[in-house]
Amino acid sequence: MSLSAIIFAVSAEAQARIQRRCVNLGDIKVYPSSDCRLSAPDMIRLINSYSPELALIEFYDRDDALKTEEILRASHPNLAIVGFANNWHYETLIKTPGRYLQILPATIALEEMRAAIVDAVTLAKTPGPDNVIVFLPAKAGSGASTIALNVTGALANKCAKNTILIEADLHSGPAGMYLDLKPTQSVVDALEQSHRLDSCWNDLITPVENFAVLPASNIRGIIPQPSAWEYRRLVMYARHHYEFVVFDLPEVVNQATEVVVTSAKAVYVVCTPEVPSLKLARKRCAGLIDRGVPEDRVKIILNRYSQKGPEPAAIEDILGYPIGRLIPNDYKSLWEANLNRRLVDGRTVVGKAIESFAWSLTGKQVELVKSGRKFFDLFTAS
C-alpha cells in the first residue's frame, strides 16, 4: 500500500501541480480535497474523514505555517506535514514545538521532495527502540536464515526477550519449513495490511516456542512487490511491540527493503570460508554502506568456521572487513535439528555459539563453558 496523503493548496493550479509530483513519485495515494486553501478546522474535518499519513500544505507565510501546524498537531500528533510555498522569504526549516516543519519550493526536484517526505513521516512517529537486527547472506546457502531463526529462538528462550522473526525473503521462507509451521497468514499479508496492523496483528503472526514468526513459506502465486512505505510501517510497528525484531533478508537489498537495513541496529552479512562467498560478502557490505547503512553497523558473520581451516586474519584479508562473529561448523547438530523440526540443541557446539551470540546482542556476555577450554575462540573473532 502506498503512502496516503492529502493536499491543501491555495489554488486549483497549485493543487494540480503538487498532485502531479505525487503521481510522478509513484508510491503516494492522494485523497481528494478542495481547489482552494481551507481553514485549519476544515482541514481537520477532511483529515478525520480520510486519515492520511501525510499532509502537503501550501502556506502563505511563516505565521500561517506556525499557526496551521500547531492546530493540526493538536488533533493529529502523528500526522506528517510538509509545506510548500512560492516566493518564500523565511527559513525553509522552521522550528516548531518538539519538531521541525520543512517548506519546499514549488520547483523542487522529485528526489528532494521524496527525501523531505520520508523525513517528515519518520519524524512524525516515535522512532522506538534501536532493536532491529538484520541477517542476510553473502550468497545463497550461506546459512543466514538458519542463524536468524536460531538466534531469534535463543533471544526468546535463553535470554527471555520478547522477539519476532520476520522473513523478508519473499521467495524463500525457510523458517516455516525448518519448524514445520502451518501459518494461515504471511509476511506479505502483514505488508499489505501495514496501515492497520493494530487491529489484525495477532491474526498475522505465527507463535513458536516463546517467540513469533511472520513467515514467507506459505506465499502462493506471483510474488508481489511491496513498497518502501509498507516496510516502513511494518518496522515501526514491530520495533514498538517487541524487544528484538529479527529480519531475514535475501542477499540483494532493493529500494523497499532498504528501509529495513537503514533502520537496523546491526546488519549481519553471513558468509562461509570459501573464497567466492568471502568476495561476495565484501560486495554486500559495500552495497549496504552505499545504501546509507552506517559502516559501524555492518557486521560480518563467518559461518561454518573450522579451526582446521584458514586463520581468521587470512580470511579478513580477502573480506576487507573485520569478522564480527564466528559460528563453528557443526553440520550434524543442524541436520538433526532440521530433521526433527526444532531449533538447534543448546548443548551442542553450534547451539552454544548461537546462545553466546544472542546474549551479546542483549549487551551481556555469558560464559557457556568451563574455563581452560578454548571453546570461546569458536564464538568471537580475535
List pLDDT tens digits, range 83-139: 999 889 899 999 888 788 999 998 889 999 999 998 898 888 777 789 999 999 999
Q: pTM, whole model, 2 decimals?
A: 0.83
Q: Where are the domains of the chain?
A: 3-124, 132-378
- Which residues in the chain land under pLDDT 50? 369-382
- Say which CATH class 3-124 falls into: alpha beta
Dist. CA 380–CA 357, nearest whole Å: 9
Q: Cell triple for residue 282?
A: 565484501
CATH number of 132-378: 3.40.50.300
How many Cα atoms within 13 Å fall on the side-chain side of residue 268?
29
Residue recorded with cell 510501517: 233
Q: In what order do the strands lie in the sheet with 163-167?
A: 206-208, 211-214, 163-167, 244-248, 132-137, 266-271, 298-305, 325-328
pLDDT digits (tens, 9 = 90+) for 134-167: 999 999 999 999 999 999 999 999 999 999 999 9
Per-position DSSP letters for 182-235, written without gaps between them: --SS-HHHHHHTGGGHHHHHHHH-EEETTEEEE--TT--SSPP---HHHHHHHH
Largest pairwise CA distance in the chain: 78
Q: Given this model, what pLDDT does residue 381 score? A: 41
